[in-house]
Amino acid sequence: MSNFLQYTVFGVMVGAGYAIAATGLVVTYTTSGVFNFAQGAVGMIAALSYWELVSAHHVPVLLALVILLVFGASISGALVERVLMRRLHGASTERPVMVTLGLMVILTGVATLVWNPTTTRQVGNMVNGQFRLVGINIQYQEVLIIGVALAVAVALRALFYSSRTGYALRAVVDDPELLAMSGVSPNRMSQYGWILGFMMAALAGVLLAPTQTTGINIEAMTLLVVNGYAAAIVGRLKSIPVTFAAAIGIGLAENYILNYIVPHVPQTLVPDITNALPIVFLFIALVTVPAVRLRAAGRLTTVRAPRVASGKESLVAGVVFFGLAIVAAIVFSHTVFRGTTILALGGVVMSLGIVGLSLVLLTGYSGQVSLCQFSFMGIGAFVMGNIAGGGSLLGLLAATLVCAAVGALIALPTIRLRDLYLALATFAFASAVTRGFFADGHIYGNGGLSIGRIIVPGVSFGNDNAEFLMVTAFFVLAALMVLAIRRSLFGRRLVALNDSPAAYATVGLNIGFTKVAVFAIAAGMAGLAGALYGTVQGVVGQTDFEIFPGIIFVLFVTIWSIRTVSGAFLASLTYVVLSQVWFNGLGLFAGMGIILIGRAAGGILGIEALQFQLPWVKRSVTGTEGVTAGRQGAIPAIGGETRAAG
C-alpha cells in the first residue's frame, strides 16, 4: 500500500508539471488561435537557463525565477507575438503550425550551440527536505510543484471567467473587430496571451528540470511536454479545469505503468515502452476526443491552386532535367567533397527530393499536414536492407508497398483529423517510431544496417555515376507521377478537399477514402525514397531518420514551395548542401526561413519577382487570387510546373 501511495504522489507531481505546460498551450490557443509546438522548446531553454544561473553561476533561486519568468519569458513571449504571430493574422491553421515548428527548431538549434549536448547538467530541488504522511516520505519539492500547478489553474480560471481582461482575452480570436470597438486593443490581448503561455512553459521547464535524474537533455526536455499536448487536447484546447485534470490523470497513468507493468516485461523492451508512453497518450487523445473546431487568427484569405503543367510540358522538363543530370555526372565524376563524392551527395539529394514530392502530394495538394515522412523513409530503408540482401528491385517494391500499407493504417484512425490535429497525430507517430522502433538495437544494429547497390541483370550500379543517374531517374518518374495525379480527377478532388472539406462531403464525395488513399501513396513514395537513400549511403542508422531532421526537412520544403515539384527539389538540394557545410545550423536556417516568409503562402517560388517563363510553356492568365492579392499571372515554376503568384 505504501508503494502505491508513493507512486501516486510522484504521479500527481509529474502530472502537475504537465498541467502547467498544458494550461499555457490552452491560454495561447484561446487568445490567438495558434497551437504553440514550441512550448516544450521554451521550457527546455528555461530549464537550461535555470541551470546556468543557479548551478553554474550560483544565483539565488528566487532571483533566478524572477529573471527567467518576469523578464526572460514575458519579453520573449511579447516579441514572438509581435514579430511572428501578428504577421499571421488571416492565415489558415496550416501556416501557424509551420511557424511554431520553425520556432521550435530555432530554439533547439540555439540550445545546441550554447550548451554542449554531450555535457551532463543536473539541478537540485528548489526546496530540500521531506516529511512523512500516511506512512510515506513526501518531498517538499513535490508539494511545491503540485501547489504551483493548483495555484496556476485556479488563477487562470479566475482570470478568464471573472475579470474584464479575461473576457477580452477570450474574445480576441472570435471577433477582434468587435473587441476593438469596445475600446480594447486586440493586439495587446493577443500579446498578453503569448506572454502567459511562455511564462507557463518556462515555469514547467524549471519545475520539471530537477526530476530529470539523467540530466537536462535538449531533445528529451523539448519532447517532455508531449503529455501536456495530450492534456490540452483532452481539454479541447479551451477548458483549463479539464486540461488540469487530464494532465494529473496522465501523470498517474504513466507512473503506474512504469512501476507496475514495465518491471514485468523483457528488459530489452523497457526503453521502448518508456519512450513511447507520452506519444501513446497523445495519439489516444487525438483519435478518441472530439476535435474542437479549429480557429484561425482573423479572416481567412484564399490562394488559387497552382496550375499544373500539361503532360507534354512535364515530359519535356523531365527529359531536360535528366539531361542536366547526365552532364553533372560527367563533370563531377571524380569530385570529392569532405570525403564523399559529389555524385553520392547528388544521390542523397534525389532520394530526399522524392520525400519532398510526397509532401507536395500530401500537404501541398490535399492540405494534410504530415510530420512523419522521415519515419516512412526509415521503415523503407529497413525493409530494403532485409529483402534479398538489400540490393534488389524486389526490395524497392517491398519498401514501397510496406510503407503504403503502414501509411494507410495510420491514416484510418485519423480520417476525421485535419490541419493541427493531423499534424499532432503524425508528430506522435514520428516520435513513437524514432524513440521506440528505430532506437531498438535490433533494427539497425550497433554499426548500422548495410544496404547494397541495386543489381539488375546486364546493368551495373556499383559506381556512384550509375547510382546517381538511377536515383535521378526515379526522382523524375516520381515527379511525373505527382504531376499526372494532379491533372487527374483524383488530383482535382485533392485540391477540392484542401479548399473545403465540408463542400467536398456535401456533394457526395468520400472524404475518408480520399485521405487514406493520398496518405498511402505519399507514405509509399517516402518508403521508396528511404530504400534508394540506403542504396546510396550503403549503411543507414537511427540518426538518419530522427524526428527533428524530418521536421526540419518539412520546413525546407515549405520555405521553397510545398505546392510545386521544383520546390521539392530545391528543398532537398539546400538541405543536403547545408547539412554538409554546417549540420548544426540546419534548424536555425529552417526556422529563420519559415519566419521570413511568414506572409508568403506560396513560399520563395511564390514570390512574384522570382518567377520566370520557361520557353516551352505557354503563358496563361488567371483571375484574381485570394482576398488580398490582385490580378496575377500563372507563371511556370522550374521543372515544367506552373504556379500562381503567391
Instruction: List, for residues 195-247, the tens digit of each pLDDT value.
Output: 999 999 999 999 988 888 788 888 888 887 787 888 988 888 888 899 999 99
Residue owning grid cell 532535367: 321
Q: Which segment of 31-35, 271-275, 594-598, 642-646 scores lowest on mean pLDDT?
A: 642-646
- C-alpha grid cell, residue 134: 500516511
Question: Are 472 and 478 within 8 A, CB to CB?
Answer: no
Q: What is the number of other CB atoms lying within 10 angstroms of the CB of residue 623?
A: 8
Kindly report, residue by residue over 288-321, the tens digit of the pLDDT.
Answer: 776 555 444 444 444 555 567 888 899 999 999 9
What gap in Å lies between CA 349 and CA 353, rounded to an integer? Answer: 6
Mean pLDDT of 502-507: 73
- Identify the H or E element spanning 311: helix 311-331
Separation CA 334–CA 355 (nearest Å): 27
For 559-571, what is each residue's pLDDT tens digit? 999 999 999 999 9
Please indicate, yes or no, whether residues 118 and 265 belong to a single structural domain of this protein.
yes
Specify if 326 maps to a domain. Answer: no
Instruction: Provide the greatest CA pair distance for the chain.
Output: 83
**pLDDT exceeds cutoff 70 at 274:** yes
Q: Is 625 left (phi over 0), alpha (psi -120 to 50) or beta?
A: beta
* Euclidean distance between CA atoms 205 and 221, whole angstroms: 8
Q: Which residue has the cell 548542401?
A: 577
**343 and 283 together in one domain:** no
Q: In the predicted model, what is the mean pLDDT of residues 529-537? A: 93
Radius of gyration of the chain (CA): 25
CB 308 within 8 Å of CB 494: no
Q: What does the alpha-carbon distance between residue 598 and residue 607 come to, in Å, rounded to a whole number?
A: 12
Co-location of 60 and 193 in the same domain: yes
Question: What CATH number did the domain enclosing 191 receive?
Answer: 1.10.3470
- State mean pLDDT over 102-122: 89
319 falls within a domain: no
Report whether pLDDT(633) > 70: no
Q: Name which of 137-146, 207-216, 349-358, 637-646 the model is least confident about.
A: 637-646
In a 3-state reduction of DSSP, which class is residue 453?
A: coil
Q: Domain for residue 521, yes or no?
A: yes
Residues 177 and 97 in one domain: yes
Boundary (domain end) residue, out of 288, 323, 358 = 288
Q: Are residues 124 and 240 in the same domain?
A: yes
In terms of domains, do 41 and 170 share one?
yes
Q: Cell 534525389 maps to which residue?
A: 350
Work out the percent of the chain whose per-residue pLDDT is above 70.
87
- 246 and 353 in a single domain? The answer is no
Number of domains into which the chain is organized = 2
Cell of 629: 492579392
Q: What pLDDT sits at residue 201? A: 92
Q: Report the candidate in 459, 461, 324 with the shortest Cα–Cα distance to residue 390.
A: 461
What pLDDT does 473 receive?
95
Could you give the residue ranges of the DSSP H alpha helices within 209-239? 218-224, 226-234
Which region among 18-22, 303-307, 452-456, 538-542 has the lowest average model confidence (pLDDT)?
A: 303-307
Do 72 and 184 fall into the same domain?
A: yes
- Checking if the pLDDT of 79 tops 60, the result is yes
Structural domain span for residue 573: 338-580
Do 235 and 176 have their domain in common?
yes
**pLDDT tens digit sequence for 427-458:** 888 888 887 788 777 788 778 898 988 877 66
